[in-house]
Amino acid sequence: MATPICFIIWVLFITDSVWTRSVRQVYEANDPEDWTMHDFDCPRECFCPPSFPTALYCENRGLKEIPAIPSRIWYLYLENNLIETIPEKPFENATLRWINLNKNKITNYGIEKGALSQLKKLLFLFLEDNELEEVPSPLPRSLEQLQLARNKVSRIPQGTFSNLENLTLLDLQHNKLLDNAFQRDTFKGLKNLMQLNMAKNALRNMPPRLPANTMQLFLDNNSIEGIPENYFNVIPKVAFLRLNHNKLSDAGLPSSGFNVSSILDLQLSHNRLTVPRISAHLQHLHLDHNKIKNVNVSVICPTSPTTLPAEQDSFSYGPHLRYLRLDGNEIKPPIPVDLMDCFRLLQAVII
């Protein structure tokens, strides 16, 4: 059965975007609360735009402490300061939905135990470019996005994610995660997680027991050598998989390779692969800078062209591959005719 066009368009839209199912909630214009009833006090260190009464801008001010947050504030911008601690007191009256604390000097020791978990309506928490050595905990159950890129995270305490069933995006890229950072139940509780980014760490193995709803998995720039048999069975919805700049070889792949029907975009650039087995549903394949000397069509073609009914539309039968990148290998043109016979929907081939 053909993949519905509307589904394809929607999937392609989220490929390079930050996934969130709750942006609508944050930007809800018709909130029943009447902001005109609030005292429009503004911390002297910050800026409170009259046209945006729920926002507090305190970025780039050399702040060392978080000011007291008025109860009317939903959006708090504190990035690029000198803040080292997150105490409870400034948030006593807060109703925050969004906190940006990127580019500060926050450590785990500087986060008071209940400072974040008391924010019962918080949806987005940005703590990128700080000094964190482990994922902070406890966090509010309401949280939908947690962004911790470019810290020093090497530990994920047990139970950190156990109550975060609303989390849809977890960004841990560019940290210091090793394989021993994960237990089999590390991700337990993340029932709605859709995007997991662990690129630029020090992993040698695929992370264990990922949440079943994961759709986007980014593991670029690690040292991953192989993928266990049936690994993708626990993440049957994964559509976007990035494993660029790893140490994958044919010996490390299961016999079925990446023949996973849910995967639409597969990026395997800068590894040690020849041609892996793929699914007929795959639409974008990046195999540049590998060890490919020739394209074995009998291996890469998920359906033999001779088995396709001649009178049928290619959109209904046969592989869906539209983009294939093979440059940086040892392949010499011309492109094999059999390749084009197999992938009748190809729009771009880079050799």
Q: Per residue in 7-34, pLDDT tens?
A: 333 444 444 444 434 333 444 444 444 4
Residue 243 pLDDT? 98
Within-domain flag for 99: yes
Spatial CB neighbours of 305, under 8 Å, sequence gap ≥ 6: 318, 338, 341, 342, 344
Read off φ and ψ for residue 35, nearest 5 degrees. Answer: -70, -15
Total number of residues shown for the chain = 351
| Confidence at residue 143, expressed as pLDDT on a 0 to 100 scale | 98
- Are β-strands 348-350 and 323-325 bridged in parallel, bridged antiparallel, or unpaired? parallel
Task: Give exposure, 139-159, as e/b (b: 16+ Cβ within 10 Å).
Answer: bbebbbbbbbbbbebbbbeee
How many separate helices (H) and strands (E) can be counted in the chain?
A: 4, 13
The sign of the torsion formed by the CA atoms of 111, 113, 115, 120 equals: positive
Q: Give the pLDDT confidence score for residue 18 in this predicted structure.
A: 44
Q: What is the pLDDT of residue 296?
A: 87
How far apart CA 2 and CA 18 sit, in angstroms, is 27
Stated pTM of the model: 0.86
Q: Per the domain annotation, does 37 fall within a domain?
A: no
> Two tokens at 328?
């940086």
**CATH code, domain with 74:** 3.80.10.10
**164 is a domain residue:** no
Looking at the domain assignment, is residue 69 inside a domain?
yes
Domain assignment of residue 59, yes or no: yes
DSSP-assigned letter for residue 107 = -
Residues of the chain below pLDDT 70 = 1-40, 304-317
Task: Count CB-CB contacts under 10 A for residue 304.
Answer: 13
Q: Side-chain half-sphere of 157: how many Cα atoms within 13 Å?
A: 10
Q: Which segments of the chain does DSSP mark as H helices, in order?
A: 5-14, 23-26, 297-300, 337-342
Q: What is the pLDDT of residue 40?
A: 61
Q: Would residue 72 count as lying in a domain? A: yes
- How far apart (Å, rounded) are the C-alpha atoms in residues 189 and 176? 23
Q: Which domain holds residue 107?
A: 52-131
The CA distance from 327 to 249, in Å, is 17
Residue 350, domain member (yes or no): no
pLDDT at 317: 65
Interval 209-236: pLDDT, tens: 999 999 999 999 999 999 999 999 999 9
Tell me 311's DSSP state. Answer: T
Instruction: Tell me the per-residue pLDDT of 251-275, one tens digit each, with 9 for 90 and over.
Output: 999 888 899 999 999 999 999 999 9
> Is residue 122 situated within a structural domain?
yes
Number of domains present in the structure of the chain: 1
